[in-house]
Amino acid sequence: MRRLVFCLLLVLCLLGAQPVVAQEASPAAGPEASPSAVPRGTQALDGRLGGSRERIEQRYGPPEQDAEDADETFARYTVLGDETITVSFVAGQVVQISVLPARTDDPATASPSGWTQDQVFTVAAAWLPADAVFVPQATYTNLQGNLVVPCHSAALAQVTTTMIYRDVVRFGVPGDCQAVFFPAANGLIAGMDVELGDGVVLPVPDLKGPLAAEEQTYLTAVVTLLDQADASVRAFVAETVNPTSQRDPRVMSDATATWSALARHAQGMSAPPRLEVVHTVVQAAMDLLDQAAVDIAAAGEGVEDAALRWQREARESDVWRAQLRAQITSLLTRKADA
């Protein structure tokens, strides 16, 4: 319940906020710089998301821990305030920064420290490109229960390509970024990722006035569809990712059969005229799950690259469904307020 209250407070804070511009600062500084003071071009990436490994290490020294493979490097650094960052690189470029707060365990509660809702955007802004602008109205909760706040940076767009985004399984366009906040049971944010973004895939329907009864019925049906899809995905993940799982093939086959059935159901749904743009995304999200089911079967038969394809398809569907849920919740709330 505490997490739910925190999430609601943070989302309300976001929805009422103006776009926030990150500034050139240490991790403790806030996003208060005037637009004229914000670094532009590659300077906006110096020591931040989209910048170079060289500049990260010039600023914070050599990494504490380093592991490298052919495609990506992960390195850990301790920064000002004893915060820890783990940086992911592709070809020497920063594609993700995971940030953990200084840990000052309280003997009375044994709870690690974290950030409050008033601090998280200040911290995130210090690691995002200095010209990044949050899109608070597009905030959503992902399948893992974390808050995702999209953003965009012109400087990042200049130095990234669509291929880099796909390499790290992100679905935005060059310049898209996001901050992912991990709520803890104590009501604080226990960590965050700033990373290349998935973008905002949902067009906003042009609605004026309250929702009609048929529109509310349709949106409620979509929520039920999303609930079924999310429950099935969680069951599949629990069976395939959990190291203690027995990998029951019946659970996995039931899940993929459910995905295909939900895709067929979505195709048979009829959306009211004003919500046809929403229905296009509903169908696309379910079609991605259906294709993931096909590729899971193909991977089991040893088809080359099928495993990589289904993981990408399933994750993209997860993003679309999470954004759909946030938008539909907003639309239904809007009706209640109308």
Split into its structural domains, the chain has a count of 2
CA 133, chain centre distance (Å)? 16
Within a domain: 201: no
Same domain, 102 and 129: yes
Same domain, 301 and 161: no
Same domain, 129 and 257: no
Residue 325 has pLDDT above 60, yes or no: yes
Same domain, 192 and 217: no
- In terms of average pLDDT, the best of 110-124, 220-234, 244-258 is 220-234
**Nearest of 182, 174, 126, 178 to residue 150 by alpha carbon:** 178
H helix runs in the chain, sequence order? 2-15, 53-60, 120-127, 154-159, 162-167, 213-241, 249-268, 276-300, 306-337
Total-model pTM: 0.78
Percent share of the chain, pLDDT over 90: 51
Tens digits of per-residue pLDDT, 32-71? Answer: 333 444 555 678 999 999 999 999 888 888 887 554 543 4
Same domain, 171 and 219: no
Tens digits of per-residue pLDDT, 91-132? Answer: 889 999 999 887 655 544 444 578 888 889 999 999 999 999
What domain range is 63 assigned to? 2-196
Residue with tokens 């992100």: 170
Same domain, 181 and 223: no
Within a domain: 155: yes
Report how far apart the first and last C-alpha atoms of the chain are (Å, whole number): 28
CA 329, chain centre distance (Å)? 18
